[in-house]
Amino acid sequence: MRLDLVQASAREIAASVASGETRASEITDSSLARVSAHDPKLKAFTYVTAERARAKAAAIDAERKAGRAPGPLAGVPFAAKNLYDVAGLVTQAGALITDDDPPAKADAFVIRQLEAAGAILLGALNMDEFAYGFTGENIHRGNSLNPHDPRHMTGGSSGGSAAAVASGMVKVALGSDTNGSIRVPASLCGLFGLKPTFGRLSREGLCPFVASLDHAGLLARSAGDLALFYDIMQGGTHRAAEPVCALLEEGAKGLRIAIAGDYFRRGGKPEAFAAVDRIAAALGTKREAILPSADVARAAAYLITAAEGAALHLERLRERPKDFDPAVRDRLFAGAMIPAQAMVKAQKFRRWFRDQARAIFAEFDLILAPATPCRAPLSGQKLMELDGAEVSVRANLGIYTQPISFIGLPVVTVPVWTEGERLPIGVQVIGPAWREDLVLRVAYDLEKRGVVQAPVASAFA
């Protein structure tokens, strides 16, 4: 195989398969061998669908041999957070309780879309229990670990997704983001992460957490691969697909870009703000925009999450409380006790906050903000120092992501590396609703100019 599977982009792999230079079966065998070799160190996968992957690859090779075009993602290996239904597998959602559930009868909509385009599913990925966490830690399956330094956490809840991509085991991983669960691990593992507009990608076949806030999305090592997969994942919702790949070359030129001020300039470590400043400088902006009362937005998102999450799991809390991760269970217990008036006010505030954001986007096309307040903490670390105070790691990794997903705005997290540092940190490029094209254009532009990059972790390159 002439193709460098580890370094090649998804587009290059698909082109290589389409031209006949490489067979999908070779790529799949090589990818599965990498998973066998590396996953025990990273705990990214909870299932490896080797048989299914080999059968799919053989079918693609047969299609090509018969003279038919094998699809725009032919042979590209991907995997999905284990809250996506995969036919024949139990959708665990990071929990022990779900082990007794029947296997899924069908694949999630977006998996069907990707496989129809020739992508090859290698398996299901580890996550925080029921997606209620920012650390990538899982008491039942083990903690997913950061490929750039496995002493550190991946971030979560799409922690296995981030570990699988940053170690080069797959090109793209599907994740989900309710309060930051794609953007936090993308930041801590040095990846491009796309949380599209709320409602953009179909949630059919995804185990829910908070219906008011859940988004489907994805992580990759390049903006181009994000766009390639995202275009194919669209559809199946009330909104017509709006492909972005053809727009990427338009870049950042002419876009009015602001740095999020106030709330988004405090409460983090200096490296979080330095990363934003570096991106702002590369994009030639010093202007600031204030999303007012972002602290209230975070609080309202917190209440909606706790209350809806608890309502979803109430029967399981009653019947099998001992089978939950204690850290998840006790927060759900508390969430079950939230009075109705708090929820109504939180939902009213959500619309008010959305209107404030709309007013800002009349003046600007994009806003920059930190993705996380720090680089990856150690795996298992409970406390960290932020702004001179000792605070909970679990509760604070999402302080900058939570107010943004609260109003469903599209975001690409871009990975920033500082010379001499072993771990990356991410910056959120935030757009107005339904403008994934803008956030992906800027991410693509920054990547092309070498400002941001997502290399495979050196131990796995």
Partner 1 sequence: MDNEATLTAWCEAMASLIDLPIEAGERAEIIAGLRVIAQQMKLVGGFPLDDRAEPAPQFEP
Point out the residues that are catalytic.
81, 157, 181
State the nearest-atom distance from the C-beta of 264 to partner 1, in Å.
17
Picking from 144, 172, 179, 148, the residue whose alpha carbon sits closest to that of residue 160 is: 144
Establish if 203 lies at the interface with partner 1 (CB under 8 A): no
State the nearest-atom distance from the C-beta of 317 to partner 1, in Å.
6
The stretch near partner 1 (CB under 8 A) out of 54-62, 186-194, 272-280, 321-329 is 321-329
Of positions 81, 329, 394, 441, contacts partner 1 by CB under 8 A: 329
279 phi and psi, to 5 degrees?
A: -70, -40
Picking from 54, 32, 46, the residue whose alpha carbon sits closest to that of residue 169 is: 32
Picking from 101, 121, 64, 184, the residue whose alpha carbon sits closest to that of residue 428 is: 184
Of positions 65, 266, 345, 449, contacts partner 1 by CB under 8 A: 345
Picking from 181, 209, 207, 212, the residue whose alpha carbon sits closest to that of residue 195 is: 181
Please give the angle made by the CA atoms of 406, 309 and 342, to the nearest 5 degrees.
65
Judge residue 105's burial from the number of C-beta atoms within 10 Å of its C-beta, 0-12 exposed, 13-18 middle, 19 or more buried.
exposed
The stretch near partner 1 (CB under 8 A) out of 23-31, 72-80, 299-307, 370-378 is 299-307
Picking from 372, 419, 413, the residue whose alpha carbon sits closest to that of residue 394 is: 372
CB of 34 within 8 A of CB of 56? no
Establish if 342 lies at the interface with partner 1 (CB under 8 A): yes
The stretch near partner 1 (CB under 8 A) out of 86-94, 114-122, 172-180, 288-296 is 288-296
Q: Which is nearer to partner 1, 177 or 271 (CB)?
A: 177
Q: Which is nearer to partner 1, 325 or 445 (CB)?
A: 325
| Contacting partner 1 within 353-382 (CB under 8 A) | 354
Number of residues that bind partner 1 (CB under 8 A): 39
Residue 62 parent element (H or E): helix 50-65
Picking from 101, 158, 126, the residue whose alpha carbon sits closest to that of residue 43 is: 126
Establish if 318 lies at the interface with partner 1 (CB under 8 A): yes
The two structure tokens encoding residue 347: 């939902």
The stretch near partner 1 (CB under 8 A) out of 4-12, 59-67, 335-343, 380-388 is 335-343
Establish if 383 lies at the interface with partner 1 (CB under 8 A): no
State the nearest-atom distance from the C-beta of 266 to partner 1, in Å.
16
Q: CA–CA separation, 107 vs 86, rounded Å? A: 4
CB of 134 within 8 A of CB of 320? no
Of positions 101, 249, 330, 421, contacts partner 1 by CB under 8 A: 330
Of positions 4, 253, 322, 388, contacts partner 1 by CB under 8 A: 322
The stretch near partner 1 (CB under 8 A) out of 18-26, 32-40, 182-190, 302-310 is 302-310
Residue 147 parent element (H or E): none
Binding string, 227-266, against partner 1, x = CB under 8 A?
Answer: ----------------------------------------
Q: CA–CA separation, 436 vs 231, rounded Å? A: 10
State the nearest-atom distance from the C-beta of 383 to partner 1, in Å.
14
Establish if 333 lies at the interface with partner 1 (CB under 8 A): yes
* C-alpha distances out from residue 120 to 69, 93, 111, Å: 16, 21, 9
Q: Which is nearer to partner 1, 171 or 350 (CB)?
A: 350
Taking the alpha carbons at both ends of the chain, their separation in whole angstroms is 17
The two structure tokens encoding residue 237: 């919702």
Residue 122 CA, distance from chain mean position = 17
Q: Which is nearer to partner 1, 309 or 373 (CB)?
A: 309
CB of 342 within 8 A of CB of 306? no
Please give the angle made by the CA atoms of 277, 350 and 428, to the nearest 5 degrees.
20
Establish if 335 lies at the interface with partner 1 (CB under 8 A): yes
Of positions 237, 293, 381, 418, contacts partner 1 by CB under 8 A: 293
Binding string, 46-85, against partner 1, x = CB under 8 A?
Answer: ----------------------------------------
Instruction: Name the site residues for partner 1 (rule: CB under 8 A).
Output: 212, 293, 295-296, 299-300, 302-303, 306, 314, 317-318, 321-322, 326-327, 329-331, 333-339, 341-342, 344-352, 354, 395
